[in-house]
Amino acid sequence: MSAKLVSVVVPCYNEEEVIAATLKELAGFMKQNPRYDFEVVLVDDGSKDRTLEMLRAAARKDARLKVVSFARNFGHQFAVTAGIDAAAGDAVVLIDADLQDPPEVVAEMLAKWEEGYDVVYGVRRSREGESAFKLATARAFYRVLNGLSEVPIPLDVGDFRLMARPVVEVLAAMPERHRFIRGMVAWAGFRQYALPYDRKRRVAGVSKYPLLKMIRFAKDGILSFSSRPLQVATSLGSMASFVALLGIVYALVLRIFTSTWVEGWTALMIAVLFMGGVQLLCLGIIGEYIGRIYEQGKGRPLYVVRERIGFDAGKEKPRRKVRKT
């Protein structure tokens, strides 16, 4: 029986400072696990530095390395998606390019997979070298998300994980544009194992997740896994209507039974502003969902590949199909 093939998917965006170290670590890791055949699918997410060049050079020297290069920067979740789509392994491991997720932990993931688990995800027991702000916001985000989501999404879990082929197939069949992969895997179910690990600091370079990208990602997570915000809009609307009703009764009583009814400008302003605010907020929430329906309705491909290196010609997997809606 031939050895099982394990695909390691690495999204890379402007990682020229760490990629050499990462490839070296991965090579060491593969050497220590001779039981398996490996392929490393490196996805260059439209890097503007020398990352692609370095990946190309590395792939020339090592046939296990494969490179998918995007036509522009599509974002981390799309890079991971492309890697998963291109991976041929019996299991697929997702790992960041910056060595924050230590390859040693992958050996433990492989052991759990052998025990029969379909998904082994890393739970961050500690996070080294990250700002108090990032830690606090991440912590709060995972708790809010879990409170809102219709499927439980594990806390403090990133994309660092191993997935067996059946799970990978489920992911490949999910056409959604707003991808929150850790949630999608939770949604899929199967036998999942939570493996605690210590998240390291970045070996070099800076985080490619500035605050705005983090907020967008958090929004995708919440809006893709919950329609609760729409219900919040309804509750806010009903609360505001109730307060408005009290105000109307009050105004009428003043008008009919007293002679001081011209007064009340302040109350009027407050009511107008409050109602205006609530209405805009609710419109915004609805708009967020409609925008997503619109994006999905266009049915564009999730990413555009400019170059594929190291894949066997003729043996390529069929491209991801875009569902017509």
Q: By the criterion CB under 6 A, which residues form the site for ligand UDP?
A: 11-13, 15, 45, 73, 75-76, 79, 96-98, 100, 207-209
Q: How far is the CB of 302 from ligand UDP (least distance, A)?
A: 14
- Which residue, 36 or 141, has its beta carbon nearer to ligand UDP? 141
Secondary structure letter of residue 90 according to DSSP: S
Which residue lies nearer to ligand UDP by CB, 117 or 121? 121
76 contact choice in Mg ion, ligand UDP, none (CB below 5 to 8 Å, kind-dependent): ligand UDP
DSSP three-state, residue 40: strand
Q: Does 100 bind Mg ion (CB under 5 A)?
A: yes
CA distances to 51, 242, 265, 267, 269 from 261, rounded to whole Å, are 72, 22, 10, 12, 15
Q: Which residue lies nearer to ligand UDP by CB, 78 or 117?
A: 78
- Determine, following the binding rule CB under 5 A, whether residue 15 of this chain makes contact with Mg ion: no
Whole-angstrom Cα distance, residue 197 to residue 214? 22
Please report how close the Cβ of residue 175 comes to ligand UDP at its closest, in angstroms: 21
Of residues 70-99, which lie at the interface with Mg ion (CB under 5 A)? 96, 98
Residue 179 interface partner, choices ligand UDP, Mg ion, none, CB cut-off 5-8 Å depending on type: none
Binding-site partner at residue 148 among ligand UDP, Mg ion, none, CB < 5 to 8 Å by type? none
Would you give the DSSP letter of residue 108?
A: H
Q: Cβ closer to ligand UDP: 56 or 76?
A: 76
How buried is 132 (Cβ within 10 angstroms: 0-12 exposed, 13-18 middle, 19+ buried)?
A: exposed
DSSP conformation letters of 280-303: HHHHHHHHHHHHHHHHHHHT--S-
Q: Is residue 317 within 8 Å of residue 296, measured between CB atoms?
A: no
The Cβ-side half-sphere exposure at 144, using a 13 Å CA radius, reads 13
Q: How many CA atoms lie within 13 A of 31 on its CB side?
A: 7
Residue closer to ligand UDP by CB (options 68, 119) is 68
Closest approach of Cβ 208 to ligand UDP, in Å? 3
| Among Mg ion, ligand UDP, none, residue 182 binds (CB under 5-8 Å by kind) | none
45 lines the binding site for Mg ion (CB under 5 A): no
Q: Which does 11 bind (CB under 5 to 8 A by kind): ligand UDP, Mg ion, none?
A: ligand UDP
Number of residues binding to Mg ion, judged by CB under 5 A: 3
Q: Are 204 and 163 in contact (CB under 8 A)?
A: no
Q: Which is nearer to Mg ion, 85 or 101 (CB)?
A: 101
CA distance 234 to 138: 28
Min dist. Cβ of residue 138 to Mg ion (A): 12
